[in-house]
Structure 1
Amino acid sequence: MESHMPVSMLDNDFYKFTMQQGVIRLFPYAKARYRFINRGRHSFPAGFAGHLRKAVDDMRLLALSREEKQYLQATCPYLDPLYLDFLEGYRYDPAEVVITQHGDQVAVDVEGSWYRCILWEVPLMYLICELYYRQGQPARISDDKVMAQTAAKIGSYRELGVTVAEFGTRRRFSYDVHHLVLKALRAYGEGAFVGTSNVHLAMQYNTKPIGTHAHEWFMFHAARYGFTMANAMGLEHWVQVYRGDLGIALADTYTSDVFFSQFDKMYAKLFDGVRHDSGDPLVFADKVIAHYQRLGIDPLSKTIIFSDALNYEKVARITEHCRGRINMSFGIGTNLTNDVGPPALNIVIKMTEACPHGKGWTPVVKLSDEYGKYTGDEQTILLAKSSLGIH
């Protein structure tokens, strides 16, 4: 039986900690609500909610170890001592998570102070995945095959001449498979493998933790400052906290067209590049290159991180399109950590409402470059589109 109990406070995506520090510093009174979205309409077996409840309750036992704190101090100098002391004292509060099951469908809702409950999303997703695969799903391929397959994948990316980070924590098959993938990437990935979004595994395998911020950063800023100011204020606050570190901006919370209309010369120079997470990657690349050129900035001094449902064919197509025009790197998730036999789950957990001042809830939405990835209620989506002039 493969383990599913989280083993470390750092078994989470790096951008959760970087955003948490920003929230503590700038929005200590804010509250947030998150909801599980079963995009693939997967069926969960009877009693699944009970197993998930037990795993969530066990999360309260996690604490940052002295070694982990020292690792963060040495590796991430932009995480300040106050924040690291906070993280050392932080404990998950399972009361923030409500889990129910109706037939074969499971509902998961999170509510609490934003600085606290921001850490729940990723562990909840990997717990849902791991428990799902443990209950009556077909067996996965052997450990040796996982290693061999991962070695072959990273070898093909090396031949392409591109760099790859592992972004697969949220929808991994299991903790054990994730370890095997990292072991293979570390052993066979020299020259191509540049790091992982998982801080615990970055520490275990002596590689770089990678990430900046997620859509929720900008979604919250819309609740606080309005849709038209969300991108600009989100970027402004990121720079205020990180002073030039962690300089990859996420471009598609309210469509990339709206983002680039607000990504002026100051931000374009301050940030090292942008991350692509929805819509046609080649169209996006052309848009980014043209934007930098219009501002008189050499695109070859900037980077696009591509991170949307990548596999080798997609990476090869993007590489051919972008090479010699702009720098690029690739964040590959599910294709690395959940390509071991049974089909991967298509699930997300998204912020649904924010309470910026500690009272009064405001619905939040995400308007990706791909309509199928929109999240939020219809009325707020229409309001956002109307405010931002999106047709």
Structure 2
Amino acid sequence: MDDVAVIGAGIAGLATALNLQERGRSVKLYDPLGVGLGCSWGSGGLINPDAHLPVAMPGMIRNVPRWLLDPLAPLAVRPADALASLPFLARWLLASRPAAVREGVDALRALHRNTLREYRMLLGDAYPDHVHERGGITLLIGEQPSPAERLAAELRRELGIVCEELDRREIEARVPGIASHARRALYFPGNAHTPDPAALCVALGDRFREQGGAFRSIKVDRIVAGDDFCTLWAGGEAHLADQVVVAAGARTPTLVKPLGLKIPLVAERGYHLQLVDPSLELSAPMIYREGGFALTPMRGGMRLGGTVEIADADAPPNYARAEALWGRAQRLFPGLTAADKRPWMGSRPALPDSVPAIGRLLRAPRVAIVAGHGHDGMIGGPASGRLVSELICGQATHIEHRPYRPDRFGWSTVLRQAW
């Protein structure tokens, strides 16, 4: 019987497995795709300790009609899935209330702020190969700060986040050739990125195996949690484990619902466009708020990553959303060319408040989950893996764990908070 079975070999599952090994546990990883070949493979590569804003922000309700009508908007709801998405969207709008946003900001800040330290511990000597600490630029919209921008600035001051305001001259000095409408930006010196998310995951997987970990390339269909052990049913076979951690991304609700946890996690489908040999060279990532995407330097090219599409995980991809990134990038960098453009789509696991669910299941305490990072998995995955490992091993947690409780989404709780 396995000591701990971890379902899912993305960044969160890998970080969980390595942290459990560090605490003396024997671990087996299960993933039918292989190490890091799901959403972690398609990540935009941002590793930003200073990321702290949830997707749901005050005033977002005004955007809902546009999301429903424009299939190429940076954030869109697939029409065929609009009705099924309404419960999630309702929770999302409740999460955009100022008090709820403040709770989300505090939770994300606590989880993200030490992510570089967590990566150093996980990667060891391989850290410099996979994490580049070169800061990052966020372009701002318009000539004057918007209400949302003023709120973000206030939160940064409260949280002690260091950034530099850049004017047009300073932007052009850092990024030659950028369009003239890019007149304001922020530079975050403490942010970082990975030039190859897949290689980073492979490095973690190799370290896991070197430390005695076992990997099974098999899909777990069902978990039966007993009083003394758990049974994982995969490929018609039973696999026994003392404890289980579900880090299965968008598949997590299917696995935990029979165990008594109904979690409002949806497939937030993200797209990227990988540019091969682009004419533009960036030394550090750039987030373009107006276009709803980020540009990240990668080995062999550059990745345009972003956009959010609320849709069924099994619905066919709408690669026009990935191609739309190319047009937005060309408006930002006139004359941009590339030898090739390779689209990708993946279903990121998203929760309404953008805060992942981390912890044991109340009705099945031998099972824990770590899921719901949305587009911040590469940022929050390492600390999430540490937190769930501390909970499993009965240790004091390095951050307060209650904001991440998996059972926080009951409608009675949500409505009580709303009032």
TM-score band by shorter chain is under 0.3
Q: TM-score, normalised by structure 1?
A: 0.25
Q: Which has the higher strand share?
A: 2
Using CA pairs under 8 Å that are at least 6 residues apart, name the structure with larger relative contact order, 1 or 2. 2
